[in-house]
Amino acid sequence: MKILKTLFLFFSPVLLSHAQENQDVVIKTQQLSDNVYMLTGQGGNIGLSIGYDGVFMIDDQFARLTPKILDAIRALSDKPIQYLVNTHWHGDHTGGNDNIAKQGAKIIAHDNVYQRLSTSTPKTPKEALPVITFNDKLHIHINGEDVLVFHVDNAHTDGDVLLYFPESNVLHTGDTFFNKLYPYIDLDSGGSVNGYIDAVKKALIVVDDDTKIIPGHGVLGTKKEYQFFLSMLEDLKSKVLAEIALGKTEDEVAVNSDITKTYDDLGYSWAFINSEKIRRTFYKSLKE
């Protein structure tokens, strides 16, 4: 009995913290066109297409937020969720896969997303794995418009896809765009600085000044903001390469705040990727 009481005292603050965290998260809905929406909450931004065919969903944040996300979706449509596309394998974009699959949705992702999820530790439930995968690009026809899904190599990870709705003129970038934030480039999952820059360049080809851009993280973006994001990436690459050419070590680059000062002043550092971490990431990727 004493042991149970001790365990209760130890875990109750943790459980209370998680409950409070769930309670504090609000899922906000933003309409971008007649049938395309953006949901924000905690984790990767969600894209939705709502129409007579049903609900088409892009990413699903964390499992514990699924009830709130479903409430937000049901406020828009009572039709079933037909498809869910994962833009990559990270848990803040795929954590709700199991729950959404139980709603009847078929999960779609790049081949490498299936590979990483199916071999991850802890083990991913079978129901949370994609049932449709592809290698390069995919066309989906739903709710009266086409959805162009295309893979970009070794960018944020090795399994990133972007989705473009030509009729609505909406682009979902996944984590190849962190609007007004330093990006997370997951080198351990096949990401790279050069691949990330190439991905942004590829995405910019399909957009115009009126395109609404759903970033993986951050507020809804514009072409101008995506272009500035690209210029930041290229600027950091140039500066870090110059340091590498001078024979500087990773630690020397990591403490050189001049490299990122312009963007530090704009508030681009955030909880997960601060200026030191982005300098280290660029060094490690470019040094290879």
Token reading at 193: 């600085």
Question: Is 1's pLDDT higher than 90?
Answer: no
145-156 pLDDT tens trace: 999 999 999 999
Q: Which of 189, 175, 86 is nearest to 132 (CA)?
A: 86
Surface-to-core class of residue 103, CB atoms within 10 Å of its CB (0-12 exposed, 13-18 middle, 19+ buried): middle
- Residue 22: the pLDDT is 62
Range 99-107 average pLDDT? 98
CATH placement of domain 23-222 = 3.60.15.10
- Residue 136: the pLDDT is 97
Q: Which of 146, 154, 139 is nearest to 202 (CA)?
A: 154
Region label for 186, one of left (φ > 0), alpha (ψ between -120 and 50) or beta (otherwise): beta
Report the mean per-residue pLDDT for the chain.
94
The percent of residues in the chain predicted with pLDDT above 70, rounded, is: 92
Contact 221, 236 (CB under 8 A): no
- Residue 6: the pLDDT is 43
Using CA atoms, how far residue 143 sits from 1, 36, 188, 288, in Å, is: 58, 10, 37, 45
Crossing angle of helices 223-245 and 193-206, in 10° steps, is: 160
Token reading at 131: 């049932």
Question: Is 105's pLDDT higher than 60?
Answer: yes
- Residue 288: the pLDDT is 84
18-61 pLDDT tens trace: 444 567 999 999 999 999 999 999 999 999 999 999 999 999 99
DSSP string, 192-257: -HHHHHHHHHHHHHH--TT-EEE-SBSS-B-HHHHHHHHHHHHHHHHHHHHHHHTT--HHHHHT-G
Surface-to-core class of residue 104, CB atoms within 10 Å of its CB (0-12 exposed, 13-18 middle, 19+ buried): exposed
List own/partner pairs for 256-263 with CB under 8 A and 24 or more apart. Answer: 260/236, 262/235, 263/182, 263/232, 263/236
Token reading at 82: 């037909």
In terms of pTM, does the model score above 0.75? yes
Cα–Cα dist 155/198, whole Å: 8
Crossing angle of helices 193-206 and 275-287, in 10° steps, is: 100
178-228 pLDDT tens trace: 999 999 999 999 999 999 999 999 999 999 999 999 999 999 999 999 999
253-285 pLDDT tens trace: 999 999 999 999 999 999 999 999 999 999 999
Range 78-92 average pLDDT? 98
Q: Which of 151, 179, 177, 180 is nearest to 163 (CA)?
A: 151
